[in-house]
Structure 1
Amino acid sequence: MSRRSNGLIGIWAEAQRQQQRQREAEHRERTQAQREQERQQRAHEREAARLDREQRAAYRQRREAGARRRTEELDARVAELTGVLLTGCGEPAFTAAALRRSEEVEPFQPGHLARPVPMPDPALYRFARPQFEQDWHTAQLAEAQRQQQLAAYRQQYEQWAADRLAETRAHNAGVEEMTAALRRRDPDAVVEYFSAALYASAAWPEEFPHQLSAAYDPGARQLVLTWELPGYDLVPAAKSVRYMPTADQDKETARPVAQRRAIHRDVLAQSVLLVLRELFAADEFGALESVSVNGFVDDHDPATGRRAEIVLAAVAVSRPVFEGLRLEQVSAVDCLTDGLGGQLSARPDQLTAVRPGRMPDEVGQGVVSHGGGEDPDLYAMDPIEFEQLVAQLFRARGMRAVMTQRSNDGGVDVEALDPDPISGGRIIVQVKRYRKTVPPTAVRDLYGTVQGAGANKGVLVTTSGFGPGSYAFANGKPLTLVSGEELVGLLGRHGLRGRLGDTSATPPRRGASAGAGTDAGAGGTGTGAGTGGPEGGAAPDPAAAHNVLGMSWSGGVALDICALVCRGTQVLSDDHFVFYNNPATPDGSVRSVPPAAEDKAAVRVSFDTLPATADRLVLVAAVDPQVDPRADLTGFTDARIRLCDASGAELGQLEVSDGRPGETALVLGSFRRRANGDWDFVLGGQGYGGGLEALVREFGIEVA
């Protein structure tokens, strides 16, 4: 039988046992904490690995999608080239009526001046008679001023309308004179009219040249002309694009040389047949019994090395023979060579010429020149002369500039070298003589050329303009976009000459009236591709051509996205402030719309129909005080604006600044109208601590 000791030994032993239990407990806690830390570390590593996989997968998907998009663009380009003739057959025939202008003048649009100033209601001033009299007197003065401004503006409009109508009637009288000359088979009138028919055709792709010379033989009723054909480099050298994840780069699959040559040869035959179709279809006066066409390219003659017009196709066709064709169903090459007995170069890619048929200078009649005026029309200028003019402009700005070979130039028309040791370097210049807006794909292609050539900068010069998508892509990149209006201004400042077709006046605008675009793309007697205006009748429906601005951001803060249509830093009117209580401007040019799945808010904008008095569209974000009364913009991060076209296709992304602590409203950025009518995006960043009210006060909105 054991006996427990109550002496010193027993006390010491019990203390030892308690210490041992404490050490064991601490060891268990340390072990458990270490295991928990290891478990969290493993979980963190698994989460990081998962995020990394997702990011890699998302990156790969974006690159693969980009490669597929480029392949689709190549396929679409080939489809466009191989369908030139079929597209042309579906277009309506050109007629003399297309040259006439409507005598309908755009109606008087006084805008806000048409609305009388509201008079104060006496019922609201029951106990404040002096204040009523003061407000009534102020309103009377404002109404008198409105009537005075309205009368002055009406007088200004009536003068403009009278001048416009007189100009239109004079133009139509000239068309009637030309029509009468056509019936008499006057050679000059015949050449002028049928040249206009070729220039006005909507079937030609934008990159196709539009150079011709022509003469008319009234005895034989034969039109003899030369028409410039597209070069071999117009057919894409790449067949497809595939993303290579191992090398992290896109790889182009070359189009077989035989296929590329066949496409080019087919395009040449289509072009000649389309010229014949446009001419015979436009002959409503019986002026043409036959047509002789020589299709040429402007390039270096392989035999002499000098630049020359090398004839690659030639044919002479009578009306009865041509009317027996069904162009929608023919093989263009077989039709031209076998069906019509024409000639087509066997190797046009090597500039193998054919024997030309009858040439205009053999007819003995003068050739009508197009454009007129002291300054050359950039639309009607020879393509080589146009590139030479652009190169001359760069030399006038103190640079060394040379033109490149037209074949195998890699998308480079002019190379310039800026000698400035700090900001200078090699500059790649592309020239686009377009009548319609340059697509964003052309800007992306220039950027790829700049990167591939290792140049310091790329410049895209055009006779037309650029859309917001092009400016969005060029933002932050070494690219400069020069529109037609800017080009004319640069030429004038450096003593060079050039104009953009015929210019026409536009009516004065006031108040909230919607601005209608003018036809800046029509050269000579062409119909152009304007967006509407006085000459074309009513302005276009804002829903017909618009962009969608989709906005998204990280963080859970609830925001209101608003838009202000401004002139400078002042909103046009309270109605031009688009927010939750006013979802659209009076003309519908700016409207809040439901966002796409990847966005949190969206605004639809028809830039072409924004009021003529507006020069900027300001986008702002503000904390919703009803949802998050204590929130600020700290949670507004990773923000961006997706610029989409009317179909929802993304044209580019615009980065905006993050929010800062204490701010409850922020200017995201603004689209600003350039001098040529294009819109460019300018990054914002101005924050406000007083919310949306403080922000809109800065833009002239009275907050009660």
Structure 2
Amino acid sequence: MATKYQFVKTISNSRLSQSKTIKALTQYELDRKVDEQRKKWKSQVNKLNERDKVENELLRAERLIKQAQQSIEVFQNMLKTSARVHHYIDFDSILISDEYPPFIFKEATPNINDFYLKHNVPSPSYWEDLLLFIKSSRLKKESAAKLDYDKEYGIYQEKKQQLYNQYMEKKIAFDSNKSSYNNLYENIREGYLNGNIDSICDYFSLALEHAPLPKELALNIEVNYLPVSQTLIVDYTLPNQDDLPRAVSYTYVKTRKEITVKKMTQKEFDAFYDSVIYQLTLKTIHELLSSDSSEVLQTVVFNGYVHGTSLATGNDFTSCIVTLNVGREDFLKLNLEKVDPKECFRSLKGLSIGALKNLSPVKPYMQFSKNENRFVESRNIIAEVENIPNISKMPWDDFEHLVGGLFERMFYSDNNEVKITKASRDGGIDAIVFDPDPIRGGKFVVQAKRYNAVVQPSAVRDLYGTMIDEGATKGFLVTTSYYGEDSYRFANDKPITLIDGSYLVHLFQENGYSVKISSE
């Protein structure tokens, strides 16, 4: 039986997993019904999308709450977390044990028999003694086969030798980097055990570098050792309030269709900041004494510095806001998992004034005497830079000398002078450029950061504080990674040049070197 509907169309909506057959007497009616159905589905899809969006935002708010709580918890438990660990340095796990893979040439060696077959060389026969032309023909073909073989074998050997030479260049560079890296750490270990002052400083810097630290913070220290009194002096750049998390909760507001953040009150945050600073102080001393297997430390002096801007003058300043002088015996009596950090600091006769947020300066118990003995002879790492497969993975002290070598090329003249400072792993000055030009010259400080993650804004602030301390006219911060907006914003109106990984590669290219930076 024929249907009275002459116009039929089936439509579907994948989002709703629905389909429908539309029937009509006319094309106009069919188009109208199809359009109406699609509008209904669109309305339903929009409601579903809105519901999903709300659910996604609620889930995102939950994730943000969890992240905020975890972040704050890490800061609140810094001291307890560190106190549960003995921070001995496992040098065997630091040293590179990998060997460069053996040379393998996959191409098959030419076989003379293949060439005999190619030239149809017959085997010697009885008839050759009777019919000399048969032997002459065989020898002629054999000679041609050998010439062909010798040619192919020569090409094979040349190709093999070329690849072997390339292999050896890479192997020599690998072995050299491995040796340099391992020698550095072995010298630190041996020097520490034998009482070498520089090695002792490097050893304890290394211990702090391997100790746990919240990801929001970047370690920036300078250490010095006084062998007569067995005292280690630590100048520690403390975080500013802007470096710490403030958020405690997140809420999705449906009416505004946005996630709002709830932060600590100022009173809560001030107490949180105080706790973080006192924890960092005690945590650092614990990690130093805990890692001191040879007991070369009898006293630790901790000086905690912050860089800030005076609200009265608008000028930048560096202040020591906490200082503590404590003996090994007294400190090891403490149960750091149960102490109140502030009360413990006070009981050890640590010095601070009022709320730490005020950055009130105190006089350090002991300070470094800074002198020009910090300069060392530059190592010509840059000469071999093109053999280094990834400069972001090279030993940190080699990278500092590499950057120093680059600046030597960039500022080369008869009057300019580039000085490389002693490697200390502490984020201090890695090179100083002296340019005597009365107009554009001055004293420039250079810091090198061999990072694979974003450089924290605190590193830029630390550089600026160093410039002020050094009386430098310009600063360069060089990294294999990259900077965030806050770093560029801070450096914008200051004589600071931020050189990220891509621009560092460009500078090497400008000076005739091809380098690679990879996060892999």
Change (3 A) 1:217 1:140: same
Report the AA paired with residue 505 of structure 2: G
Distance (Å, rounded) in 1 between the aligned partners of 2:148 and 2:57: 64
1:435 aligns with 2:451: yes
Distance (Å, rounded) in 2 between the aligned partners of 1:194 and 1:159: 36
Look up the match of 2:393: none
1:72 aligns with 2:80: no
Deviation sequence 1:261-280 (CA, Å, 0-9, x none): 22222221221122112211
Contact 1:240-1:253 within 8 A present in 2 as well: yes
Distance (Å, rounded) in 2 between the aligned partners of 1:109 and 1:75: 52
Look up the match of 2:205: 195
1:294 aligns with 2:294: no
Look up the match of 1:114: 106
Contact 2:88-2:293 within 8 A present in 1 as well: no
Deviation sequence 1:192-237 (CA, Å, 0-9, x none): 3323333x32412344243333332222111122111111112223
Contact 2:249-2:263 within 8 A present in 1 as well: yes
- 1:174 deviates by 6.1
1:357 aligns with 2:388: no
1:60 aligns with 2:69: no
Look up the match of 1:266: 275
In the TM superposition, 1:397-546 aligns within 5 A as 435-438=451-454, 463-465=479-481, 484-490=500-506
Distance (Å, rounded) in 1 between the aligned partners of 2:364 and 2:296: 23
Contact 1:465-1:483 within 8 A present in 2 as well: no
Distance (Å, rounded) in 2 between the aligned partners of 1:201 and 1:334: 27
1:149 aligns with 2:159: yes
Change (3 A) 1:37 1:195: closer
Contact 1:191-1:368 within 8 A present in 2 as well: no
Deviation sequence 1:358-401 (CA, Å, 0-9, x none): 22239x99778985655579985559x99xx9xxxxxx9xxxxx
Structure 1 vs Structure 2: percent identity of aligned residues? 17
| Normalised TM-score (structure 2) | 0.58
1:327 aligns to what SS in structure 2? coil
Report the AA paired with residue 486 of structure 1: S
Which of residues 512, 517, 520 is equivalent to 1:676?
A: 517
Aligned residues: 389
In the TM superposition, 1:549-564 aligns within 5 A as none
1:253 aligns with 2:262: yes
Report the AA paired with residue 200 of structure 2: V
Deviates more, 1:147-156 or 1:350-359: 147-156
Distance (Å, rounded) in 2 between the aligned partners of 1:202 and 1:148: 52
Look up the match of 1:307: 316
Change (3 A) 1:206 1:146: farther
Report the AA paired with residue 192 of structure 1: D
Change (3 A) 1:141 1:255: farther
Contact 1:226-1:293 within 8 A present in 2 as well: yes
Look up the match of 2:91: 97
Contact 1:235-1:263 within 8 A present in 2 as well: no
- 1:357 deviates by 2.0
Report the AA paired with residue 677 of structure 1: S
Contact 2:110-2:156 within 8 A present in 1 as well: no
Look up the match of 1:342: 350
Higher relative contact order (CA 8 A, sep 6+): 2
Deviation sequence 1:41-100 (CA, Å, 0-9, x none): 654433222112112223333333344433333333223323333444466624383697
Change (3 A) 1:68 1:438: farther
Look up the match of 1:215: 224
Distance (Å, rounded) in 1 between the aligned partners of 2:98 and 2:36: 77
Contact 2:86-2:291 within 8 A present in 1 as well: no
Deviation sequence 1:268-320 (CA, Å, 0-9, x none): 12211221122112323321111010111122245665323212222112111
Contact 2:298-2:328 within 8 A present in 1 as well: yes
Report the AA paired with residue 518 of structure 2: G
Distance (Å, rounded) in 1 between the aligned partners of 2:448 and 2:179: 34
Distance (Å, rounded) in 2 between the aligned partners of 1:138 and 1:47: 78
Report the AA paired with residue 350 of structure 1: N
Look up the match of 2:384: none
Contact 1:190-1:216 within 8 A present in 2 as well: yes
Report the AA paired with residue 274 of structure 2: R
Contact 1:217-1:365 within 8 A present in 2 as well: no
Change (3 A) 1:248 1:162: closer
Change (3 A) 1:229 1:105: same
- 1:40 deviates by 5.5
Distance (Å, rounded) in 1 between the aligned partners of 2:270 and 2:333: 29
Report the AA paired with residue 114 of structure 1: K
Contact 1:117-1:142 within 8 A present in 2 as well: no
1:315 aligns to what SS in structure 2? strand
Return the structure number with greater helix share.
2
Look up the match of 1:17: none
2:369 aligns to what SS in structure 1? helix
Distance (Å, rounded) in 1 between the aligned partners of 2:54 and 2:148: 66
Report the AA paired with residue 197 of structure 2: P
1:108 aligns to what SS in structure 2? coil
Contact 1:210-1:380 within 8 A present in 2 as well: yes
Contact 1:209-1:228 within 8 A present in 2 as well: no
Change (3 A) 1:138 1:51: farther
Report the AA paired with residue 205 of structure 2: S
| Normalised TM-score (structure 1) | 0.45
1:95 aligns to what SS in structure 2? coil
Contact 1:235-1:260 within 8 A present in 2 as well: no
Distance (Å, rounded) in 2 between the aligned partners of 1:39 and 1:169: 79
Contact 2:222-2:236 within 8 A present in 1 as well: yes
Distance (Å, rounded) in 2 between the aligned partners of 1:78 and 1:295: 21
Report the AA paired with residue 676 of structure 1: I
Report the AA paired with residue 70 of structure 2: A
Contact 1:214-1:368 within 8 A present in 2 as well: no
Report the AA paired with residue 276 of structure 2: V
Deviation sequence 1:332-360 (CA, Å, 0-9, x none): 3333233x332345422232334432222
Structure 1 unmatched ranges of 5 or more = 1-29, 130-136, 390-395, 397-430, 443-460, 471-481, 496-504, 506-673, 680-704
Distance (Å, rounded) in 2 between the aligned partners of 1:42 and 1:271: 67
